[in-house]
Amino acid sequence: MATRTATWAYRDRFHESFARTYFRRFSTSLVSSIGIGTYLGDPTDAVDERYGATIVEAFEHGCNVVDTAINYRNQRSERVVGRAIDTAAVDREAVLVATKGGFVPFDGARPPNPAAYVESTVADPGLATRDEIVRGNCLAPDFLEWSLDRSLENLDLDAIDLYYLHNPETQLERFDRSTVYDRIEEAFVRLEARALEGDIRHYGVSTWEAFRVPDSHERYLSLPEIVRRARRAASRAGASSTHLRAIQLPFNVRMADAFTVEAHVGPDGPTSALWFAADAGLDVFTSASILQGELANEGTIPLAVDRRLSGDTPAQRAINFARSAPGVTCSLVGTGSSEHVPENVAAGTFEPMGAAAFDAVFE
């Protein structure tokens, strides 16, 4: 597990190479505000090798956050992360390892008959009913526990620092919102129990649409309701306080709705996902921080914004936009290309935008 001592020692090793606020607090740890993601890429040995090299390089050059999910590249991404942690000249306890459960993962390769695979892996052993699996997404507690155990094995870790429920809004395709909240609460009860057992340190909710869309949207989920459910789950599991600690959502200069759409009701009325999270003490990890590579191309960041951002390359300026937003602890950037690691990590040598400059972008 990431510890205070090891992450502070990691920060001491690297902080002089970076600008102020590059390392940020996450619970008792200090983490880099740029993290490495492992979503894209084919499920092949060649891509495994490339990811392995980039993750080690990132760890050894000042990035101590890695994000994966059991279903990414058919469990290959988690296994690569596990090997990279082992190989890198960095203490495991200096790294925040985040993964996700909620999609039925294939094992190494797509099976010839995916429906039969899901049936024999999940439904037949009774981990979930067929009805609970919506486009591969499943929040059934027994399935999640099975998934978490597999993630621990894939990552070869005793504990996961941050375990997300993965895109729970997928369930809204089949079930009404109150049923989905109930299912999320049941999942949280199990995650609270696993946190008490020491298998996970914190948990979170990772979404693609739920938290950044207006409340009238069919995929909307309310953050205040998620927090209420987490508190209830903690008390049902016998925890003194909830282990819900983070959310993950897409955020970049062209997808800024987590800052602009006020869909979550706080004490002062509706507010954005980013502000609600900040006020509720939830850390935010941004995904798609460079719009899946698009913002690395010259001319793709709107000129009026680009002028206010620091960084030598468009990718660096896009990363710096994402990690300048209020409440953001870390911006994740996926890369399986070695040449992109130094460029992306070096975005952290520039100051992020101040709050006033960030707000001014939207005026």
Ligand X SMILES: NC(=O)c1ccc[n+]([C@@H]2O[C@H](COP(=O)([O-])OP(=O)(O)OC[C@H]3O[C@@H](n4cnc5c(N)ncnc54)[C@H](OP(=O)(O)O)[C@@H]3O)[C@@H](O)[C@H]2O)c1
Residues that bind ligand X (CB under 6 A): 37-40, 67, 167, 206, 208, 248, 287-293, 296, 315, 332-337, 340, 343-344
Residue with smaller CB distance to ligand X, 189 or 346? 346
Q: How far apart are CA 252 and CA 271, in angstroms?
A: 19
Residue with smaller CB distance to ligand X, 106 or 164? 164
Shortest reach from residue 213's CB to ligand X, in Å: 14
Backbone angles phi, psi at 362, to 5 degrees: -100, 5
Shortest reach from residue 9's CB to ligand X, in Å: 26
Helix ranges, 121-260 (H)? 141-155, 177-196, 223-237, 257-260
- Report residue 289 CA to chain centroid gap: 11
Shortest reach from residue 197's CB to ligand X, in Å: 25
Shortest reach from residue 116's CB to ligand X, in Å: 26
Judge contact between 77 and 39, C-beta under 8 A. Answer: yes
What is the tally of helices (H) and strands (E) in the chain? 13, 12
Shortest reach from residue 363's CB to ligand X, in Å: 26
Residue with smaller CB distance to ligand X, 204 or 352? 204
Residue with smaller CB distance to ligand X, 150 or 236? 150
Residue with smaller CB distance to ligand X, 77 or 222? 77
Query: Phi-psi bin for 158: left (phi > 0), alpha (psi -120 to 50), beta?
Result: alpha
Residue with smaller CB distance to ligand X, 282 or 296? 296
Shortest reach from residue 319's CB to ligand X, in Å: 8
b vs e for 145-165, b when ≥16 Cβ sit within 10 Å of the residue's Cβ? Answer: bbbbebbbebbebebbbbbbb
